[in-house]
């Protein structure tokens, strides 16, 4: 777990959650920064069942999500 220095933590009103998502066909790899605590975590979510929906629904609001994806190559 990584953390920002205490002096870098924002006021509660400025706090938010940032998610970086590397989207693949069968899974996604995500990194989450909670600016309230400075905690950074990484998760791998399979695209079956309800894991993805439950993960995003449980994140502290407000949330900003950035998604990286590429189209499959066609020959």
Beta strands in the chain (DSSP E): 17-23, 27-34, 39-46, 63-68
Question: Per-residue pLDDT tens for 51-73?
Answer: 999 999 999 999 999 999 777 77
- Classified as helix, coil or strand, 67 is strand
- Please report, for residues 3, 31, 50, 69, the alpha-carbon distance to residue 18 in angstroms, rounded to integers and kept in the order given: 14, 8, 21, 17
| pTM greater than the 0.85 cutoff | no
**Residue 12: its pLDDT value, please?**
64
């Amino acid at each position: 777990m990584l953390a920002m220095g205490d002096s870098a933590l924002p006021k509660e009103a400025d706090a938010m959650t940032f998610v970086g998502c590397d989207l693949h066909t069968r899974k996604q790899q995500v990194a989450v920064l909670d600016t309230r605590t400075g905690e950074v975590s990484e998760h791998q979510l399979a695209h079956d069942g309800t894991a993805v929906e439950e993960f995003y629904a449980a994140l502290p609001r407000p949330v900003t999500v950035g998604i990286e994806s590429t189209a499959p190559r066609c020959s």
